[in-house]
Amino acid sequence: MTYQHQYTDGSPFPHALGKVVCVGRNYAEHARELNNPVPSEPLLFIKPATAVTPMAEPIHLPRGRGAVHYETEIAVLIGAPLSGVVSDAQASTAIAGIGLALDLTLRELQDQLKAKGHPWERAKAFDGACPLSPFLRPDAVPALDSIGLQLRINGELRQDGSSAEMITPIVTLLQHIAGIFTLLPGDVVLTGTPAGVGVLQPGDELALDIPGALQQSARVAGD
């Protein structure tokens, strides 16, 4: 079944999925937990549309490719073109929704690629590597600089962060990305993950939250 963006009330978003632009190491504590330097500007990579899957569907881990790490992220749905130099107001009004995402990562492969100075897409862009929740409409979202996000696995709190901790905040991220390549309606921006990432196991039950606004469950398929 072809993925289609939708809102939490079940209504569809009128634009098809485009690209997913991901921001690495946007939370300093996450960078440190993986012994990575904190970047001086946003570190960007892209997941293709084929990586996206509804979060409500079972998560299928790639077989024989090493550990798959979860990274819980705030996802920003783009509703208007952004390109070149854009104002704060243009970036803000282009936000069509806020949701939750899992940036799934083949961590051992990523470490090998980083050691060679190679791009990360082999570890980040595989089919199913980007489960997405439905999106909140902008008027249902807390202030962009205070969006909380949490992940529990099998009832245990693993990640607990806030957009207030981002090195580069959401609006500034959109402005930065638009200055490099155009964002179009249907594109999604993943804004980085707080500390607490780890390995997914078959059968894991996940509960993701924007506290007080959005709750989404997910399940890792069994062997």
- Provide the mean pLDDT of the chain: 94
pLDDT at residue 183 tops 70: yes
Residue with tokens 């969006």: 147
Q: What are phi and psi of 175, to 5 degrees?
A: -65, -45
User: What's the topology of domain 20-218?
Assistant: Fumarylacetoacetate hydrolase; domain 2 (3.90.850)
Residue with tokens 């990523």: 110
Spans of all domains in the chain:
20-218
Q: What is the pLDDT of residues 63-104, one digit of tens each?
A: 888 999 999 999 999 999 999 999 999 999 999 999 999 999
pLDDT of residue 34: 59
pLDDT of residue 49: 96
Q: pTM to 2 decimals?
A: 0.95
Q: In what order do the strands lie in the sheet with 205-210?
A: 156-162, 148-153, 205-210, 214-219
pLDDT at residue 213 tops 80: yes
Q: What is the pLDDT of residues 98-155, one digit of tens each?
A: 999 999 999 999 889 989 999 989 999 999 999 999 999 999 998 999 999 999 999 9
How far CA 218 is from CA of 104, 201, 221, 223, in Å, comes to 13, 13, 10, 16
Q: pLDDT confidence of 16, banded at 50, 70, 90? A: very high
pLDDT of residue 40: 79
pLDDT at residue 215 tops 60: yes
Determine the distance from the C-alpha atom of residue 130 to the mean position of all C-alpha atoms in its chain, rounded to a whole number: 7
Q: How far apart are CA 88 and CA 170, in angstroms?
A: 10
Q: pLDDT confidence of 223, banded at 50, 70, 90? A: low
